[in-house]
Amino acid sequence: MINQKKTLKRGTLSINYKMGKFSTDELFDIAERNNPKRAFLFVSKVLGKHIPVSPAKMRKSYRELSQMLPDNINGEAIFIGMAETAVGLAAGVFHEAKSKFDKAFLLTSTRHAMDAELLCEFKENHSHATDHLIYLPQDKTMRTSLNQAENLILIDDEMTTGNTFRNLIQSLWNTNYFKNIKRIIILTLVNWNQEPISYPDVEVQCYALLNGNWSWQPDLNASPPTMPEVNITNQSDNVIIGPQDWGRLGSHESHDNLGQQIAVQPDKSILVIGSGEFLWKPFLLAERLEKQGAKVLFGSTTRSPIAIGSAIKSAISFTDNYGQGIPNFIYNIAHQEFDKILLCVETAEHSIDQSFLKQLKAITSDVEVVCYA
């Protein structure tokens, strides 16, 4: 086991992990949350969320994680990804792994109200935004698979205690579906959980790129931060104009069809920004531009409030584009230089906070909004 310690403003974090194919330095850095419930955050270096990374590095993590699935799996599978951070990760793993199964489709949890029938709700208790919604697929064959599938694949960037997965599984079990599940497979980039997850008559397997445990020693004299109100699922009516063909309402296939007219010059530095849960389509755009020879980084806006320091070198704050009236942030881009920024949204261009665009234009004058509609 390898031991590491990190002293933060509100205490000391101790990490123990098994050395394998990846080290902690390759997968994450540590930051401080503006959240009184949990003081620290493992900030992924491969997720393309809070630290901008190359699409090639993101794709590699999708492949590495999907290859951990056992070879003897078959039948039908339901993949479920966790909002907001792991929606893109789940889509990437799904598209790498779905051929292992006879039939498979992807669902993602969301923090946005949709014009659809709700399947279930569950809580992520430690989070800045505890409420998750999962909607029934609109496709009839996917609804049939909910009762026929033998395999349930759950994907998140990190498993800390396992409680969010337990909450999700219990909520799924409380529905009228999932009657034929024989195996649950949990895939995460990092797994800190030490308590087994078990259910009668169901085999549960957990796979991660890095496994370990952590302990937290709080500084009892430290003052807790004030956390902004971001636990919101209500929003303006019909604000999402983009097709729901990538996860929230179920997806068998998801094509690279965002910003098809965009071309870039080789060797130009490009930042592609996803917005909130809208990650997969912008990632495919970023990956396409990278293959054209551009120097591309991918990052995303988030509702996660994080303090500047350690893994967070800079922050931009603004109001969200979904009509929820909550603060959003993007980290680790304001101190960098880019030739062009592509801001990708699934809402209309007028929904974007003008102060956000102004802050982006302070980084580069070439800022283009790419709407998925």
pLDDT at 233: 67
Dihedrals φ, ψ of 7, to 5°?
Answer: -90, 125
The tens place of each residue's pLDDT in the chain, 373 residues long, gives: 788 888 888 889 999 988 677 888 899 999 988 777 778 889 999 999 999 999 999 999 999 999 999 988 989 999 999 999 999 999 999 999 999 999 999 999 999 989 899 999 997 755 555 689 999 998 999 999 999 999 999 999 999 889 999 999 999 999 999 999 999 999 999 999 988 898 889 999 999 999 999 888 887 777 776 666 666 666 766 599 999 999 999 999 989 999 999 988 888 999 999 999 999 999 999 999 999 999 999 999 999 889 898 899 999 999 999 998 999 999 999 999 999 999 999 999 999 999 999 999 999 999 999 999 9
pLDDT at 36: 73
pLDDT at 159: 93
CA-based torsion, 228, 41, 187, 168: positive or negative: negative
Specify the 3-state DSSP secondary structure of 47: coil
Q: How far is 337 from 339, CA to CA, in rounded Å?
A: 7
Q: Locate the domains of the chain by residue range.
A: 269-371
pLDDT at 225: 67
pLDDT at 237: 63
pLDDT at 10: 83
| Residue 73: C-alpha distances to residues 53, 94, 233, 358 (Å) | 32, 14, 36, 50
Q: How far is 56 from 332, CA to CA, in rounded Å?
A: 19
